[in-house]
Structures are given as structure tokens and as C-alpha cells.
Chains A and B, each alone.
Chain A
């Protein structure tokens, strides 16, 4: 019987197929340091598709859509599994939405969205590799420019 690299969880969320280098960024998005139940983080695990992958298992937490949207920007190949009583009850691949509101800050310091109390809004002009355009100042951002809120 194959032994799991990372132990199974009874209830919660598993974020799989994360690009290994982005795993800790995803952990940061999920704010895992404030979780009270078990959190398992695996990096450089063997993957058929990615070669090496990262995985995060969070006990007792169902991740929300805002977190999924953020993860999609950092790890576009990630999949999410929702676990109940050791069974996968829901499985989906993260997807970058067409418009991103309130989760990424425009990187232009002179953009109106960085000076007024408005929700930053960016249009996704390319999904992989990610390319975003600020709704207000029209500046185009690549993945290296992304500043998550």
C-alpha cells in the first residue's frame, strides 16, 4: 500500500498541485498561522504533471471564493479539494476571473485607487501567464508586479 507523503485530514480543505515555489505564498494567502486545527504544508512533493508540487491541508476550514481567486493569481494550476469525514466531497481547479476586485492593489503609486477610498479593480487581459490591467489608470501588471491586499 502506497504511503501518503502528507497525512490525510478528516474535515477541511486541501490545496493541491501548487507550483512548489509558490507554496509559501499560498500559505500566506490562507493565513495559516492563525488556524487552530492541524495544518500540513508539503513542498517539493512528486507530481506527475508538475514534476514537483506543493500541497497545503487545512483542518476544519472551507476556503472561500476570495481566497480561491487570490490563489489562482499565484498558482494557476492549483486544485482545491473539500474534505468531509476523510472523503472528497467537492473538487475543482482554481480559475482566474475576468475581473478582480478588492484583492490586488494597483502597483502604480500615482493611481487614483491608491489615494482614494475605492476598491481596486483590475481586468484580466491574459490568464496564463497572468496579465492584469488597472481599471482606473490602465497600467498593465505581470505576475511579478502583483501586490495582494
Chain B
């Protein structure tokens, strides 16, 4: 894992296929072995300027389960940011209190800015609509575990593809594995043009549509996302697209799907996936959320040099 030691984890673009596979392998080992004291004496600063449940709690749980300690905040209202302190000053100061920073911030590029300033590793836990690389690691891990392979899959991305940072990162990563991709969204939430161009430059077969009809039978994986109310400046625009997709067991089976289709969702969901799916073999989103723990244990252990 020498490729990860002291490395910032800012964007999925900074990782090659071999590195992605090595972190998936380490997550697998983290599930199977006792690693209670690996990070004893180390301190993680968990800086969440935007709300989070799964990412923040799984990072904090991972650090504690590896014997390390956690400091930080879950919302910026109680910090000096509310007094007008810049992000640059905040991370420069907090660097003195910890060994690693996990940062979520509403501005795109904030994690890169932080990593340029401090000398300890920075992990991007989501920067606006840009990147969320550790979510991508655990999404890949979930696909690999539930499909048995990452190679040559046909993947449908459904929902908010414009602001959905997990979609952008995962599509980029799956391009290493020869995936064919369908992007299904309302016109106002289409995959950004530069993302599609970049995928096509990498020889990915990309298709765009507004509906799953006629596509569903071809998909090995559906990656469903929430339409994110908080990304809309105009509530009228949000109302136009909320609830536009509602996946249910009946609907999918009527449209026709592969028996071994797997449905992922970075969660939280609102109304895009019906509860009737939860008990089916298609649904792997709760398992996906649980996979955050071994994956983030793997990331922390590798970046802090506890795994050689």
C-alpha cells in the first residue's frame, strides 16, 4: 500500500486502476482481520462544513475501531468559520492538532485547497458537486462484492446526474473497467457535458435518456441518486423534477430486468426508491452503506502508513 502512504485523497482522477484494486483488496482484509490497535495514538480531525451522516460517522467509527481518536465538528455554526475565518486559516490551525484531516465543504475545490496548504494528509469527504472519492471506493467495493467482478458491466445512473458528485466519480472510476454507461435523468439534471466528453475521450460507450424504458433489461447495476433539494437555488425548479423517478419492485419487474440486477444508492433516499425493493435481492444499498466502515478503515490505515 505504499501508493497510499501520506497521500491526499482528493479526486478519483488521482488514482489508477491498480491503486483502486489495491484499496478494495485492503478493505476486504479489514473485514476479515482484527485491526484494533493499528492507529493507536493517531488523531483524525473530522471537519464537516456541510451535513453528513454516513460519511462522517463511518470515518469516525473507522478511526475509533482502529484505536485512534477523533476531534472535529459536524456543522460549521459552532466554529470560527461562523466568525468569518477563511478555510485556509482554519485548516492551517487544525493541522497542528491532528495527523489527518477529513473535510467536507460546500465549495468545489476546497479539499484541493486544504491539501495545498497543510503538510498532513487530507481526505475529501465531498466538495460541493465535484468529488467524493471515498464514496466511489466503497461503491466499487460493493459492486465487486455483489456482482463478483468490476469488469465489463453495463451500468445505469439514474436521478440527479448534474449535481450528484458520487455519479461523476464512479463513472470516471468504472471507465477503467470497460463499463458501458447509461445516464438517465430529467433534461435539467443531465450529466455535465465535460464529464460525458471526458468519458468518451476514454472510449467509454455512453448513452443518455430520460427513462429506463427499453434500457432496464440490459443493466447489471442501477446506481440511483436522490434529487438534491439543497443544490437548487430556485425551489420552483426543484418542484419540477422532484419525484420524477420512483423505482419499485413491481415497476422494475414489469419493465423487465436481469435477475441478478443490483441497485445501489449512496443514500439518503427520499422517494426515488420504494420500500418494496428493500427486501429483494436487487437492493444492496444498505450493504453499500455498511461497506463504508471497512473501506474507510482501509483508507485511514493505508494513508497513515499502518499497512505496508
Determine if B129 and A110 form an interchain contact, defined as CB atoms under 8 angstroms apart: yes
Instruction: Evaluate whether A112 and B194 lie within 8 angstroms (CB atoms) in the complex, with A118-B88, A136-B108 already known.
Output: no
Bound complex: CA of A138 vs CA of B109, how far in Å?
A: 7
**Residue A63, interface by CB 8 Å:** no
Instruction: Evaluate whether A140 and B198 lie within 8 angstroms (CB atoms) in the complex, with A111-B107, A111-B108, A112-B113 already known.
Output: yes
**Residue B55, interface by CB 8 Å:** no
Bound complex: CA of A140 vs CA of B194, how far in Å?
A: 6
Q: Which residue of B lies closest to A134 (CB)?
A: B109
Bound complex: CA of A135 vs CA of B88, how far in Å?
A: 16
Bound complex: CA of A112 vs CA of B129, how far in Å?
A: 12
Chain B residues whose CB sits within 8 angstroms of the CB of A136 once the complex forms: 108-110, 112-113
Determine if A110 and B107 form an interchain contact, defined as CB atoms under 8 angstroms apart: yes
**Residue A90, interface by CB 8 Å:** no
**Residue B130, interface by CB 8 Å:** yes
CB distance from B15 to the nearest CB of A (A): 14
B78-107 CB contact bits vs A (8 Å, 1 = yes)?
000000001110000000000000000111
Instruction: Evaluate whether A115 and B11 lie within 8 angstroms (CB atoms) in the complex, with A137-B128, A137-B130, A140-B198 already known.
Output: no
CB distance from B10 to the nearest CB of A (A): 9
**Residue A113, interface by CB 8 Å:** yes
**Residue A116, interface by CB 8 Å:** yes
**Residue A117, interface by CB 8 Å:** yes
Bound complex: CA of A32 vs CA of B210, how far in Å?
A: 51
A124-141 CB contact bits vs B (8 Å, 1 = yes)?
000000000011111110
B105-148 CB contact bits vs A (8 Å, 1 = yes)?
11111101100000000000001111100000000000000000
**Residue B202, interface by CB 8 Å:** no
Chain B residues whose CB sits within 8 angstroms of the CB of A140 once the complex forms: 194, 197-198
Chain A to chain B contacts (Cβ below 8 Å), 8 pairs? A112-B127, A117-B86, A118-B88, A136-B110, A136-B112, A137-B128, A140-B194, A140-B198
Interface residues of B (CB under 8 A from A): 11, 13, 86-88, 105-110, 112-113, 127-131, 194, 197-198
Interface residues of A (CB under 8 A from B): 106, 108, 110-113, 115-118, 134-140
11 additional A-B residue pairs with CB within 8 Å, beyond A110-B107, A138-B109: A106-B109, A111-B107, A112-B87, A112-B127, A135-B109, A135-B112, A136-B108, A137-B128, A139-B108, A139-B194, A140-B197
